[in-house]
Amino acid sequence: MESSSDATTLLERTEAISKGGKGVSSDDFRDLLRQAPKSISPSDMNKVVTTASEQVGYWEAEYLFSPADIPNDAAAAESAAWKSIWSACAESLTKLAPELREKLDEQQQTVAFHHHLCRRIEYNKARPFARIASWIFSYV
C-alpha cells in the first residue's frame, strides 16, 4: 500500500535539495525515488523534475569549469547521472501532460545556462582581466 508519508518524504527531500544550492549525489536521489510512491501528482512530479534540472546544471557547470589538465570526472559522471534522472522524470511528467515537453526542455536549458553564468562570474572574480574582458565583450 502506498503511503502519503512516502510522497511527503520525497517532496521534503526534493525541497531541501532545491534550497541547498549545492550538488547532491545522484545515487542518493535515485534511492529516494525508488522509495517514492508509484503514483505522484503532476504538480509534485514537476518539483522533482525541477530539482533534477537544477542538479544537472550544477554538476555540468562543475565539470565545465574544472581545470582542463585535471577535469572533474566525478562532476561529469554526476552530470550524466542527473541527466538520466531528469529524462526519466520528465518523461513520466509528459505522459501525464504531453504539452509540457517543450517547456521542460526550455527550463532545463535555462537552468543550465544560469549555473554556467554563475560559475563564470565566480571564476572571473579571481581574474580581473577576464572579468573586464567579459564585460566588454558582452556589449560587442
Residue 24 C-alpha from the chain's centroid: 9
DSSP code of residue 97: -
pLDDT category at 31 given cuts 50, 70, 90 is: confident
Q: What is the mean pLDDT of residues 53-73?
A: 93
From the number of C-beta atoms within 10 Å of its C-beta (0-12, 13-18, 19+), residue 132 rates as: exposed
Cut 0.85: pTM above it: no
Domain count for the chain: 1
In angstroms, the CA 23 to CA 18 distance is 10
Domain holding 55, by residue range, is 4-137
Residue 18: what pLDDT? 67
Residue 130: what pLDDT? 66
